[in-house]
């Protein structure tokens, strides 16, 4: 975390300097008040009261100016620190592998990016302002108290050990609880994120009460942990006040006895001593709050560092030269198992190749490994055995940017963002001209329904694309992929919501407009893929057969069974 604050070392230096000035003004005032009491009020010197009073007012004004400047510089440092940390954390999250995001969970990442960064930012603010203020106040207060009388300093010395023991006890008890509180907050964010994203499913199954119960349970757990922390801290304040009041009583007794016996202590000294003692002990109590903030922030900093220190599982290669043949794909004895499930391979000994410009369709039963197979091409995951080659080069030798620049992919779930339709399509190519966007939409057979909307391409899309039908979302996602400059197009069951006529027209347009692009199409319907150059049949993570539609009808029993089952259901498979 230190590297984020080093950039703002000037601000971190100026803020404490002005804070020292503010505290110095605060420490001078009780001494002035003692002069007013002893030399002005008791001796009847009105001019001294006015003179010292004016000096006190000026001191307060100067102290206030120092305080404002300290606040400005401290806020600049803390906010800039938080801004940089949050940006780096978000950048790291964007570069995490699917394996890592699955392990940490979306809800936890949201908490770390928001609440945890705020906690650490507050700690920086407290250290720059509160820690400096109370440290200077403590040292300066002891010195000024000693100036009034060594006896007063002795009273303070007797009370400090009790304060220190109390603060240590409460902080030791509460520190471990802060990490638990943050984990409980993760749980709430996770449930909220799942429920809001799946709101339509929740309502369709009338599960509002069930989800409310889940949220209530998580919220109750968070509330319970917070209460444990706050209950402990609630005892700390009164305990510290008891010590403070006992010390004040002791000062009054010592001061009153000395004044009555004609000692060197005056009523003004006693009043000043009480003020200094209050500043010292209140400063210590406030330091306890700083340590509390520090304990909470440390728990948050550990969680942030857990993300920032995540190793790069999917790393860049060092290839710089552009391959000569563009769009070829080859799988050589590829095996794959998801992280944490290494004893259960999803793919086993997969070998096949796709020529540039060829259309390869992939079909198989649910869970046969179709999506897992294509996710290895852009390196969403890395193979556990064998190798995947693009343009004759192992995908691990590419930089991730260079590899993924070659590929346009349309996933099973159409992901749209809360912006206009035009912006959703343009997202894949920010400098695209309006004509290019319209052309991509025409190829994806989305132009007609877009133009039919009130605002056309500038029609806003609701969060998650819920204002559009499933087929409309898929066609916009396909248009976005088409707009991107690419050598390889992967369509992972991305036309499932389209009718057969629209789907057939879309694939025909793709072949005519982008004949040189290598296409990999995953589908459940044979009617969607029968015109592909070749069809690969997956069965339990292995290649069962590969060939044309006609060849597979003759040679593959699995393909023939799929064909016959869809034919009986009325599918147009011929």
Q: Kindly provide the b/e burial profile for residues 319-339, where b requires at least 16 CB atoms within 10 angstroms of the residue's own CB.
A: eeeebeebbbbbbbebbbbee
What's the CATH number where 191 sits?
1.20.1560.10
pLDDT at 196 over 80: no
Predicted TM-score of the model (pTM):
0.73
Q: What percent of the chain has pLDDT over 90?
A: 28
> What whole-number distance in Å separates Cα of residue 39 and Cα of residue 549?
109
Q: What are phi and psi of 197, to 5 degrees?
A: -65, -35
Report the DSSP beta bridge partners of residue 489: 408, 519
pLDDT at 67 over 60: yes
Does residue 279 form part of some domain? yes
Close Cβ partners of 163 (under 8 Å, ≥ 6 residues apart): 240, 243, 281, 284, 285
Does residue 545 form part of some domain? no
> What whole-number distance in Å separates Cα of residue 209 and Cα of residue 201?
13
Q: pLDDT at position 40, please?
A: 77
Q: Residue 174: pLDDT band by 50, 70, 90 thresholds?
A: confident
Q: What is the pLDDT averaged over residues 422-448?
A: 91
pLDDT, tens only, 317-330: 876 556 655 789 99
The owner of tokens 């593959």 is 556
pLDDT at 126 over 80: yes
> What whole-number distance in Å separates Cα of residue 138 and Cα of residue 281?
8
Q: How many helices (H) and strands (E) does the chain have?
A: 21, 10
pLDDT, tens only, 205-236: 677 888 888 888 888 888 888 888 778 777 77
> What whole-number distance in Å separates Cα of residue 319 and Cα of residue 397?
6
Q: pLDDT at position 193, please?
A: 72
Q: Can you spell out the DSSP letters for 140-178?
A: HHHHHHHHH-HHHHHHHHHHHHHHHHHHHHHHHHHHHHH
Does residue 389 form part of some domain? no
The owner of tokens 């803020």 is 15
Q: pLDDT at position 360, please?
A: 94
Q: Are 95 and 18 in contact (CB under 8 A)?
A: no
- The residue range of the domain holding 188 is 2-308
Does residue 346 form part of some domain? no
The owner of tokens 């025909």 is 508
Beta pairing class for 385-390 and 329-336 = antiparallel
pLDDT at 399 over 60: yes
pLDDT at 130 over 90: no
Q: Are 525 and 562 in contact (CB under 8 A)?
A: no
Q: Residue 94: pLDDT band by 50, 70, 90 thresholds?
A: confident
Tokens, residue 124: 């920086």
pLDDT, tens only, 33-61: 887 887 777 777 788 888 888 988 999 99
Beta pairing class for 359-364 and 393-394 = unpaired
Does residue 84 form part of some domain? yes
Q: What is the pLDDT averaged over residues 255-271?
A: 72
Q: pLDDT at position 277, please?
A: 78
Nearest to 362 by CA among 373, 351, 375: 373
Close Cβ partners of 477 (under 8 Å, ≥ 6 residues apart): 410, 411, 414, 415, 416, 494
The residue ranking higher by pLDDT, 487 or 106, is 487
Q: Are 135 and 290 in contact (CB under 8 A)?
A: no
Does residue 201 form part of some domain? yes
Q: pLDDT at position 573, please?
A: 52
Does residue 354 form part of some domain? no
Q: Residue 524: pLDDT band by 50, 70, 90 thresholds?
A: confident
pLDDT at 482 over 90: yes
Q: What is the pLDDT averaged over residues 89-95?
A: 88
> What whole-number distance in Å separates Cα of residue 422 and Cα of residue 280?
63
CA atoms within 13 A on the CB side of 257: 8
pLDDT, tens only, 144-163: 878 877 877 787 777 777 77
> What whole-number distance in Å separates Cα of residue 541 and Cα of residue 446?
35
Q: At what angle do helices 267-308 and 132-148 cross, to 10 degrees?
A: 160
Q: pLDDT at position 568, please?
A: 60
Considering 27-31, 120-124, 128-132, the range whose residues carry the highest mean pLDDT is 120-124
Out of 256-265, 343-352, 381-390, least confident range: 256-265
Q: Are 67 and 18 in contact (CB under 8 A)?
A: yes
pLDDT at 505 over 60: yes
pLDDT at 301 over 80: yes
Number of domains in the chain: 1
Q: Are 327 and 486 in contact (CB under 8 A)?
A: no
Does residue 304 form part of some domain? yes
> What whole-number distance in Å separates Cα of residue 274 and Cα of residue 483?
76
The three state secondary structure string of 205-230 is: CCCHHHHHHHHHHHHHHHHHHHHHHH
> What whole-number distance in Å separates Cα of residue 188 and Cα of residue 274?
48
Tokens, residue 288: 């306890």
Q: pLDDT at position 228, please?
A: 83
CA 376, 379, 382, 387 torsion-angle sign:
positive
Q: Residue 520: pLDDT band by 50, 70, 90 thresholds?
A: very high
Angle at 452 between CA 447 and CA 455, to 5 degrees: 100
Nearest to 389 by CA among 330, 443, 348, 342: 330
Rg, the chain, Cα only: 35
């Amino acid at each position: 975390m230190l590297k984020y604050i080093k950039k703002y070392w000037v601000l971190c230096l100026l803020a404490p300097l002005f804070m020292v000035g503010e505290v110095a003004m605060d420490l001078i005032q009780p001494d002035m008040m003692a002069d007013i009491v002893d030399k002005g009020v008791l001796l009847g010197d009105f001019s001294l009261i006015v003179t010292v009073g004016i000096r006190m007012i000026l001191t307060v004004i100067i102290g206030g100016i120092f305080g404002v400047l300290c606040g400005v510089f401290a806020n600049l440092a803390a906010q800039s620190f938080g801004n940089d940390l949050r940006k780096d954390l978000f950048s790291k999250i964007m570069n995490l592998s699917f394996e890592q995001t699955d392990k940490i969970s979306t809800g936890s990442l949201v908490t770390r990016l928001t609440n945890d960064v705020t906690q650490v930012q507050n700690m920086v603010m407290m250290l720059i302002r509160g820690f400096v203020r109370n440290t200077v106040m403590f040292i300066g207060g002891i010195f000024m108290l000693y100036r009034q009388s060594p006896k007063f300093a002795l009273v303070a010395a007797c009370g400090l050990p009790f304060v220190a023991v109390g603060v240590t006890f409460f902080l030791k008890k509460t520190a471990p609880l802060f990490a638990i509180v943050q984990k409980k907050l993760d749980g709430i964010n996770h449930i909220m994120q799942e429920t809001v994203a799946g709101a339509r499913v929740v309502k369709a199954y009338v599960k509002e009460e069930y989800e409310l119960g889940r949220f209530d349970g998580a919220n109750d757990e968070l509330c319970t942990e917070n209460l444990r922390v706050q209950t402990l801290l609630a005892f700390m304040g009164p305990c510290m006040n008891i010590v403070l009041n006992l010390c004040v009583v002791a000062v009054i007794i010592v001061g009153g006895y000395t004044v009555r016996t004609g000692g060197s202590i005056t009523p003004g000294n006693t009043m000043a001593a009480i003020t200094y003692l209050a500043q010292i002990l209140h400063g210590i109590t406030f330091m306890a709050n700083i340590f509390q903030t520090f304990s909470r922030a440390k728990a948050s900093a550990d969680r942030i560092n857990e993300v920032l220190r995540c190793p790069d599982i999917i790393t860049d290669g060092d290839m710089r030269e552009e391959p000569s043949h563009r769009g070829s794909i080859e799988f050589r004895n590829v095996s794959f198992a998801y992280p944490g499930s290494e004893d259960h391979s999803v793919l086993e000994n997969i070998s096949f190749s796709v020529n540039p410009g060829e259309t390869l369709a992939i079909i198989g039963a649910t869970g046969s490994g179709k999506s897992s197979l294509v996710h290895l091409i852009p390196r969403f995951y890395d193979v556990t055995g064998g190798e995947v080659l693009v343009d004759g080069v192992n995908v691990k030798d590419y930089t991730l940017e260079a590899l993924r620049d070659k590929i346009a992919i349309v996933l099973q779930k159409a992901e749209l963002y809360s912006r206009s339709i035009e912006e959703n399509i343009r997202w894949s190519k920010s400098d695209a001209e309006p004509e290019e966007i319209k052309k991509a939409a025409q190829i994806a057979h989305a132009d007609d329904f877009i133009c039919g909307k009130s605002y056309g391409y500038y029609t806003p899309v609701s969060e998650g694309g819920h204002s559009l039908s499933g087929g409309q979302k898929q066609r916009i996602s396909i248009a976005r992929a088409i707009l991107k400059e690419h050598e390889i197009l992967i369509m992972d069951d991305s036309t499932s919501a389209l009718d057969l006529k629209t789907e057939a027209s879309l694939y025909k347009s793709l072949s005519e407009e982008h004949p040189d692009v290598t296409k990999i199409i995953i589908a459940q319907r044979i009617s969607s893929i029968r015109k592909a150059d070749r069809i690969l049949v997956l069965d339990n993570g292995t290649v069962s057969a590969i060939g044309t539609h006609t060849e597979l009808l003759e040679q593959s029993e699995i393909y023939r069974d799929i064909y016959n089952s869809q034919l009986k259901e009325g599918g147009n498979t011929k």
